[in-house]
Chain A
Amino acid sequence: MTATVETATGQRRLTTAKAISEGIAQEMRVNPDVFVMGEDVGPYGGIFGSTGGLIDEFGPKRIIDTPISETGFIGAGIGAATEGMRPIVELMFVDFFGVAMDQIYNHMAKIHFESGGNVKVPMVLMTAVGGGYSDAAQHSQCLWATFAHMPGLKVVAPSNPHDAKGLMIAAIRDDNPVLFMFHKGVMGLPWMAKNPRSIGPVPEEAYEVPIGKAAVPHPGTDVTVVSVSMSVQHCLDVAESLEGKVSVEVLDLRTIAPLDREAILASVSKTGRLVIVDEDYRSFGLSGEVVATITDHDPRLLKVPVQRVAYPDVPVPYARGLEYAALPTRDKIEAAIMQAMKG
C-alpha cells in the first residue's frame, strides 16, 4: 500500500485524456511492438481523447482505425499479443463488451492459464465507463466487477491524470491482459462538466503506478471511505469539506483486480468504520467484495455496520433526475459518512 498520494515531480498540469495519450506515446517510442487499434482512434483521436494526436506521430500503421467489428479486432489484438506484440485495443464504451465477450472472457482471460503459462497475452483493453450526462442504459455503465469477476484479467480504473498515465504505462508493460477503464468524467473533456481534479500535475518522464496498489489521497482516522475512479473525486470533495468535523480516510483503489486487500484492512483496522462508494451496480460486485475482505479476515474490525453508496440494481435511466437519484453523489456520500459516525 502506498501511504499517501505520490508526490508529483512536475508542476505541469494535464487532463487525464492527455496523460493517457502521453503515456501511450512514450511507450510506443521505446517499444516498436506497441500499437493501438479501435474505432475512431486515428484522426478523431478517440471519442474521449485517449488517443489524441497519436496518429500524427505514429501514422496509420500503428494507430489503426477499425471497422465496427469488436469481436474481430479484440480477437485480433489477442492474436497479435500471443505473437509478441503489445496491442492497446480500445472498446469505445464498455457497454459494447457484449458483442465481443467471448474473446474477452474465454480467450483473452484464459489463454495463459490454459497453456500452462506457456502463452502470454500482454494486451491492454482500454475502454470508457460511467455516466452522469444522460447517455442512458447502453452507454453509461461501469461494469468493472463484470470483468474483475473473471480470473486472469487485471482491471484498473484511475481517478486522476497522474495515476492514469502511470497505470497505462504499467498496463502496457504488464504481461497479462489489463482492462484499462477510464471514466468519461475524469478525462477533463472540454464538452462535459468536470471536477477540477480531472486536470492535474503529471510528470514528464515515463513512470509506472503499480497495478494492484491502492493509494490514500486523503488520510484520516475516523472513517475509511473506499472508492475507485470518478467517485474518488467526489469522496475527496466530501472529505475536504468535512475537515475539522470528521477525519475521513479516502482510499483510492486504483486497481479493482487484483484488489489491494491489505490496504483496505490496514485502513479499517485503524478507523473501524467503512463506507464504500462505487458507481458500479450494488449487488454481486465490488462493494460486496470489499466487505467480504473485512469479514473474511475479522468482522470485529468493524465498530458499526458498513455503508454502501453503490449504484442501485437498476439499468441507468435516461432522465436526469432519475439518473442522479441513482448515482453516488456527494450528498449521498456525506450522509453515509455521517451515518457511519453515529455508531
Chain B
Amino acid sequence: MRIRTYEATIQQHYHADKKPAWDIGAGLIPGEMHLAAGQEPVAVGLCANLRDDDAITAPHRPHHLALAKGVDMQAMTAEIYGRTTGLGKGRGGHMHLFDPSQHFSCSGIIAEGMPVAVGQAMAFRHKGLDSVAVGVAGEGAANQGAFYEAMNLASIWSLPVVFIVEDNDWAISVPRDSATPVKDGSVRASAFGMPGERVEGNDVERIYEACKRAVERARGGGGPTLLEVHTVRLWGHFEGDAQAYRGEELAEKQQQDPIALYEARLRADGLLDDAAVAEIAATAQAEVDAAIAFALASPEPSPADLLQYVYA
C-alpha cells in the first residue's frame, strides 16, 4: 500500500508538468520513469526476510524494492527530483539509487546487478558475516549472459546469494514467451546445480515463504537459490508508454491488482475493515507527500559543482 501510494503519487507528479506537449525532459521529474505497480508483492515478500545488513541489487524498476528494503523515502525522493539531499546528490536519478546503509543499489543496464550481488556475497563471507546478497532482475533480463555467469560463480563458490526473477510477462513490448523458451524459468537453476522455484499467483504470502526458504538457505551456508516470481506489470514499461502492443491483456491484468486482491482477502478473513484501510491509506499518503515536500524544499545542485565525485 505504501509502495503503491508512492508510485501513484510519483506518476501524478511526473506527468503534471509535462503538458500540453508531453516532453520527457520537462518538469520537476524529468527523464525515464519505470514504475512498479503490480510488483509490490515481490518486494514485500522478499524484504520481510531481509535485514539492514543484507544487500539488494535492483534493476531499472527499483522503487518497490528500495522502499521495502528500508531505503529512506525522503532521500530517495530527493534523488528522483535531482536535489542535493538525494541519495546521489542529484547525480544518479531514478535508475541509479545507492544507499550504502541498506546495501541497496540499482542499475539501468539489464542484468548487470547479478554479478555485483555475487561480489557482495564474497565480501560478506570474507568478513565472516552471515549477510545475504539478493540480485533482482526481470524475466527479460534473465536472457542476458551476465545472469548465467553470475549464477555459475555463486554456485561453484557456494555463496549466500538469492537470484530473483520478476516475471511480469513483458520486456517493454516483447512478450515473455517469445523471448524465453521454457514456461518455468526456474528450471534453469538445475544447470548450475542450485535449487530453483517458480512462484505463481503474485501472492505476497507465497512469495514470502519461498524467499524465506532461499534466504535461510543462503544465510545458513547452503548456497544460492533461483526464484522466479510470476507478477504483473499494471502500467506501461515507462511512463508515456502507450502499450498498444498489449491489446486486451492490459485490461485483464487490471483485474489482477495484487493490492486490491489482498485487501479483499484480508477483509474476508476479518483482518481489515474500512477504518483500517482508510488509516493505512492516509498514513501512506502523508508519508509520500512529506517526502515530496522534502524534495521540493531541497536545493538543486550548483552547476559549479559539475566535476565533483568523478574520483574518490
Q: How large is the interface on A (under 10, 10 to 19, 20 to 34, 35 or more residues)?
A: 35 or more
B32 to chain A: which residues have CB within 8 Å?
Answer: 135, 139
The 8 Å CB contact of A317, one of B83, B143, B306, is B306
Which residues of chain A have C-beta atoms less than 8 A from B178's C-beta?
65
- Answer yes or no: B110 CB below 8 A from chain A CBs: yes
User: In whole angstroms, what is the CA distance A39 to B237 when docked?
Assistant: 14
Of the candidates A42, A99, A315, the one whose C-beta lies within 8 Å of that of B144 is: A99
Residues of B within 8 A of A39 (CB): 171-172, 174
Given contacts A40-B172, A40-B173, A43-B245, contact A314 B310 (CB under 8 A): yes
For chain B, which range describes its interface: under 10, 10 to 19, 20 to 34, or 35 or more residues?
35 or more
- Least Cβ distance of B199 to chain A in Å? 22
- Distance A65 CA – B179 CA, assembled complex (angstroms): 9
Q: Is residue A116 within 8 Å, beta carbon to beta carbon, of the partner chain?
A: no
Q: Within the assembled complex, what's the spacing in Å between the Cα atoms of A132 and B25?
A: 7
Residue of A nearest to B241 (CB): A44
Tell me if B287 is interfacial: C-beta within 8 Å of chain A. Answer: no
Q: A115 to B109, alpha carbons, bound, how many Å?
A: 34
A90 to B111, CA, bound (A): 19
Say yes or no for A136: interface residue by CB 8 A criterion. yes
Closest to B308 in A: A314
- Select which of A70, A136, A191, A315 is within 8 A of B310 by beta carbon: A315
User: Which residues on the A side are within 8 Å of B143 (C-beta)?
Assistant: 67-69
A residues near B22, Cβ cutoff 8 Å: 190-191
A68-B110, A68-B143, A326-B306 as given contacts; A137 in contact with B301, CB under 8 Å: no
> Which residues of A are found within 8 Å of B300, using beta-carbon distances?
319, 321
> Does A98 touch B at the CB level, under 8 Å?
yes
**Assembly CA distance A66 to B145 (angstroms):** 14
**Closest Cβ neighbor of A317 among chain B residues:** B91
> How does the 8 Å CB contact mask read for B57-99 relative to A, with 1 for contact and 0 for none?
0000000000000000000000100110000101111011000
Secondary structure type dominating chain A contacts? loop
Which residues of A in the span 48-75 have a Cβ within 8 Å of any Cβ on B?
65-72
Cross-chain contact A95 with B109 (CB below 8 angstroms): yes
B226 within 8 A of partner (CB): no
Are A68's CB and B140's CB within 8 A?
Answer: yes
Q: Would A136 and B93 be within 8 Å (CB), given that A44-B173, A68-B140, A99-B144 are in contact?
A: yes
Do B179 and A71 have beta carbons less than 8 Å apart? Answer: no
Q: Is B31 an interface residue (CB 8 A)?
A: yes
Cβ of B107 to closest chain A Cβ, rounded Å: 7
A320 located at the interface, meaning its Cβ lies under 8 Å from any Cβ of chain B in the complex: yes
Closest Cβ–Cβ distance, residue B302 to chain A (whole Å):
8
Q: Pick the contact of B306 from A42, A47, A98, A325 — CB < 8 Å? A: A325
Instruction: Tell me the nearest residue of chain B to A45, going by C-beta.
Output: B173
Q: Which residue of B lies closest to A184 (CB)?
A: B24
CB <8 Å contact, B172 and A317: no
A289 within 8 A of B: no
Q: A314-B307, A317-B306 are in contact. Are A67 and B25 (CB under 8 A)?
A: no
The CA of A320 and the CA of B80, in the complex, are separated in Å by 11
Contact A322:B96 (CB < 8 A) given known A40-B172, A65-B178, A134-B82: no
Interface status of A6 (Cβ within 8 A of chain B): no
Contact in complex: B173, A137 (CB < 8 Å): no
The answer for the CA separation of A322 and B171 in the assembled complex, in Å, is 31
A40 to B172, CA, bound (A): 7
Q: How far is the CA of A313 from the CA of B92 in the complex (A)?
A: 16
- Bound CA span A143–B302, Å: 26
Q: Are B172 and A44 within 8 A (Cβ)?
A: yes
Question: Does any Cβ of B come within 8 Å of A113's Cβ?
Answer: no
Q: Is the CB of A312 within 8 A of B141?
A: no
Given the known interface contacts A134-B31, A322-B90, the answer about A312 and B307 at a Cβ–Cβ threshold of 8 Å is: yes
A183 to B59, CA, bound (A): 25
* Docked pose: A38 CA to B172 CA in angstroms: 12
Closest residue to B240 on the A side, CB-wise? A191
B248 to chain A, nearest CB (A): 15
Instruction: From A43, A69, A95, A321, give the contact of B303 (CB < 8 A).
Output: A321
Instruction: Verify if A339 is at the interface (C-beta below 8 Å from B).
Output: no
Q: Within residues 274 to 312 of chain B, which ones have a CB less than 8 A from any CB in chain A?
A: 300-303, 305-307, 310
B34 CB → nearest A CB, Å: 12
- Find chain B residues with CB under 8 A from A44 CB: 172-173, 245
Which of these, A72, A95, A132, A319, contacts B91 with CB under 8 Å? A319
Bound complex: CA of A315 vs CA of B309, how far in Å?
10
B23 at the interface (CB under 8 A from A): yes
Residues of A within 8 A of B108 (CB): 95, 136, 138-139
Known: A43-B173, A136-B92, A138-B96. A320 touches B23 (CB 8 A): no
Q: Which of B23, B88, B109, B307 contacts A138 (CB 8 A)?
A: B109
* B137 → A minimal CB distance (Å): 10
In this assembly, does A105 line the interface, its C-beta being within 8 Å of a C-beta of chain B? no
- Judge whether B179 and A98 touch: CB under 8 Å: no
Give Cα A314 to B143, complex, Å: 31
Instruction: Note all chain B residues with C-beta closer than 8 A to A135.
Output: 31-32, 93
Cβ-defined contact, B174 with A138, below 8 A = no
Q: CB of A207 within 8 A of chain B? A: no
Inter-chain CA distance A98–B111, complex, in Å, is 12
Q: List B28-55 residues whose CB lies under 8 Å from chain A.
A: 30-32
**Is B16 interfacial (CB 8 A cutoff)?**
no
Partner among B23, B141, B302 whose Cβ is within 8 Å of the Cβ of A193: B23
Q: C-beta contact mask, B142-182 vs A, less than 8 Å → 1, else 0?
A: 01111000000000000000000000000111100011100
| Cα separation A133 to B141 with both chains bound (whole Å) | 25
- Tell whether A242 is near chain B: CB-to-CB under 8 Å: no
8 A-B pairs besides A43-B245, A192-B24 with CB distance below 8 A are A39-B171, A67-B140, A135-B32, A137-B92, A137-B96, A317-B301, A319-B83, A325-B306
6 tightest CB-CB pairs across the interface, nearest first? A133-B25, A318-B93, A319-B82, A325-B303, A134-B31, A134-B30
